[in-house]
Structure 1
Amino acid sequence: MRIKDTLKDFCYRQLFPRAGLALVKLISRTYRYRLVDTHHEQEALDTHGSVVYASWHQRFFPGITFFATRKPIAIMISQSRDGEMIARVVDILGWRSVRGSSTRGGVHALKELRSLTRRGYRVGHIVDGPQGPFGVVKPGLITIAQFSGAPILPVIASAERRWTFNSWDRFMVPKPFSRIFIRFTPPIHVPRRLDPDAFEALRQDVEKQIKELIIQTDNWWRSPDMIRRYFP
């Protein structure tokens, strides 16, 4: 029994994360990225020293290796067994995994994120993960921004050609050699103190902005002028 448990632990902590990441890197090397509106990112970093990158779970695949270029970067990951495998991937990428969630270890994780942002770390956050519902910004995004003092910076990833999986969020993986937009949107500043009504209003506003920007960016693939502009 102990051998079986050791083998499972090895698979979760070493084999699966490294094999999965190797495949992601292999596919990602074929992508043609175009970064759009990077001045929003730079302005936020110049003003606040850090940002909270916000992305849908559905669109996260092309950002896995891309955001490794945005180090130092930290991401909050649950203390579950599945979270352990994700944390290993994060560590291999050179990111900083901060373990905690709304149900377990959340306060400690938020304090650690605040300390890290003060040292120049950026924060990556999947706003509707890990199990949805799809397209709903969970309160954790606003709370992280409040604790850290860093503005929210929605990041939109849109691929020209992609596979769509039959998952809760219709997870998307860009096909090899696909062209991809990575779009930085204007930062959203979050006050340190918000009453419940203001908190919910801000959460809904962030959700609406991300949805509208995703639709707008996806529509660029139907515009020959936009394609010629960014992929001459």
Structure 2
Amino acid sequence: MKIKLGALLGVMLFCGMGWGQHFQPVDTTGEFSNIVISNSTIDNNPFQNGDEIGVFDDTLCVGVVVYENVFPVSCPAVMEYITPADDTLEGARQGNPMVFKVWQKNTDTEMEASPIYTSGGHFGDVLTVVDPLSASTTGISENISESQIPDGFDLLSNYPNPFNPETTIRYHLPIDIKTRIIVYDITGQQIRTLVDGLKQAGRYAVQWDGRNKDGIRVGTGNYIVKIEAGYFSKSIKILLMK
């Protein structure tokens, strides 16, 4: 979905800063980072009125927007501000990466969400545009960007790392191919299958919520994430800390 800059600015002017029923951001400092979300889904289904999107700097909620039957939406994020008296007003720090969460009103469920950025992605960027933002009630949400097909296969480092309780794992597929991504403990025992099926070429982001296949949170420690796509295989080590 492509949106002209003028339309985005219009959205920001009319939506403004909000407070949600679930997400409660810090008090405004008067400084904001502009974020526009072009579309968002939960389990690949459309948002419903009252669903919320929260923006976080690590664990600090700095912005929220309540869905009211229309996309795109604006979600200005409160930025940290140092007063002339050298007092620090709490907010997002310049250059830090953005973290998104979604709250589904009808099930009272909070979940991590995976963004695909068409611009920006860090607090303080002139304009961050997310298209789309995807969340999943299963704890595994995945997003794809086909705007730039990668030149080769790759499994990138997760972020954040160390993490608690969720982390995002990115991977690249240059062709349509059957792909598996599995989380193992350090003994080689399979913990959770994150991806298993035919995937189109693109740049992907998948989230793991730190739970095993039975939905139970696993313990602190190192885990191995392995991708298998045709002849390509790669593993990375990730660290869950509680």
Higher fraction of helix? 1
TM-score range, shorter chain: under 0.3
Q: TM-score, normalised by structure 1?
A: 0.28
Q: TM-score, normalised by structure 2?
A: 0.27
Say which structure, 1 or 2, has more relative contact order (CA 8 Å, 6+ apart): 1
